[in-house]
A and B are shown apart, each in its own frame.
Chain A
Amino acid sequence: DAKTTQPTSMDCAEGRAANLPCNHSTISGNEYVYWYRQIHSQGPQYIIHGLKNNETNEMASLIITEDRKSSTLILPHATLRDTAVYYCIVNGAGNNRKLIWGLGTSLAVNP
């Protein structure tokens, strides 16, 4: 599975959009990009995933570049409850659902 690179930490003002980048330059054609987050002392929570098209759900939007070498997770109106560690993971589309977790980005949403 391809590796990902994320900034260690980011800050965002409450009510503003939080844009979290991820580089995955070695991603292969059948690998999806997944985003999870982990709020302190809780199990990780799935946010969104995509292959090559941009995706949006009730939690966030995922923008994937045309060459698929990077992506951005967008939280359109960040709240204090969005303070968490955000993980970008790439994973194949086969039966193997193993996820290899990096260190993620620690997002602090400030009042």
Chain B
Amino acid sequence: SAVISQKPSRDICQRGTSLTIQCQVDSQVTMMFWYRQQPGQSLTLIATANQGSEATYESGFVIDKFPISRPNLTFSTLTVSNMSPEDSSIYLCSVVLAGGYEQFFGPGTRLTVL
């Protein structure tokens, strides 16, 4: 398994500002993903974080709004830019270990935008 930490665990932000969320894994992983979970909803995949190259975004998500970095095999960041109240969600990172099938999830970052 993998131990995943996310920072911050929660934040309250003002409209128009940006927040960067960090995801740290205790072992090298092959794949990292970022998800959003809006209140009362299921998880929606934002993007696949690629090590050393640009992230691969899902339909409806763009790099200008959700820039992602993954400088190495154990760390990634997601920035929520120019926030609005509609961005209030839980943001989760997940990883897949080499040779594995299951995804391991971080505890999530609960974001509230006022």
Chain A residues within CB distance 8 Å of chain B? 32, 34, 36, 41-46, 49, 87, 97-104
Contact = CB atoms under 8 A, between A and B. Distances in A.
B95 to A, nearest CB: 10
Contacts of B31: 97
8 contacts: A42-B108, A43-B94, A44-B94, A87-B42, A97-B33, A97-B103, A100-B45, A101-B42
A111 B105 CA distance: 29
A7 to B, nearest CB: 15
A99 B42 contact: no
B48 A98 contact: yes
Q: Is the interface of B mostly helix, strand, loop or mixed?
A: strand
B104 A46 contact: yes
Nearest to A44: B105
A104 B40 CA distance: 12
B94 to A, nearest CB: 8
Interface of B: 4, 31, 33, 42-45, 48, 92, 94, 96, 101-108
B71 to A, nearest CB: 21
B103 A101 contact: no
Choose among A34, A43, A87, A102 the residue with the greatest number of B CB atoms under 10 Å from its CB.
Answer: A43
Nearest to B42: A101
Nearest to A87: B42
Given A97-B96, A98-B33, A98-B48, A45 B105 contact: yes
Contact of B101 (A41, A45, A97, A98): A97
